[in-house]
Chain A
């Protein structure tokens, strides 16, 4: 069984989804890449930010 850490799962999920979003939501290769990178950053950044929020709530 493949058992990634929570963060590894976030990275894998974000990568795959960002590639599809980038290709399908923009028209030129350059804009696809930039939008994909933007989505990936937002996914991972949101996960990290929410993790810290939950960390402080739990204390």
Chain B
């Protein structure tokens, strides 16, 4: 009973100060940043390492970074890639991932990049849940 009240009080306190969506936006733009903002350094570092590793491995495998959605599969891939936030912007600016997929490994690389984006969205939402007190 007392712990429930403490959790509720913590949640109310957590959601009442500052910009609630900062961890969500920071986490989307930079992998792990949402947790760093909340002082969850170890969780943030592990999330950042995992997501960055997937993105870099995808590029190293000559995976494609989607730039336009001409058909439904490309549109879905683009949505996944956009989850990478600034990594996506950086790769587009530097011309990384601007390749024609010809090998199986490059296809895996494309999936790695898309999944990195989706994982980044999950991590950003987790940071938001921590911020609002929905998760401890």
Partner of B61, one of A2, A19, A24: A2
Question: How extensive is the interface on chain A, given as a class?
Answer: 10 to 19
Partner of B108, one of A9, A15, A19: A9
Residue A16 at the B interface, CB < 8 A?
Answer: yes
Q: A16 and B54 in contact (CB under 8 A), knowing A2-B60, A2-B61, A23-B126?
A: yes
Q: Are A1 and B60 in contact (CB under 8 A)?
A: yes
* Nearest CB of B to A24, in Å: 4
User: B-side binding surface: helix, strand, loop or mixed?
Assistant: helix
Question: How extensive is the interface on chain B, given as a class?
Answer: 20 to 34
Q: Are A16 and B51 in contact (CB under 8 A)?
A: yes
Q: Inter-chain contact count A-B, CB under 8 Å?
A: 54
Q: 19 A-B pairs, CB-CB below 8 angstroms? A: A1-B60, A1-B61, A1-B62, A2-B57, A3-B105, A4-B61, A9-B108, A12-B53, A13-B115, A16-B53, A16-B116, A17-B119, A19-B47, A20-B50, A20-B123, A23-B43, A24-B123, A24-B125, A27-B135
A contact set with B: CB distance below 8 Å: 1-4, 9, 12-13, 15-17, 19-21, 23-24, 27
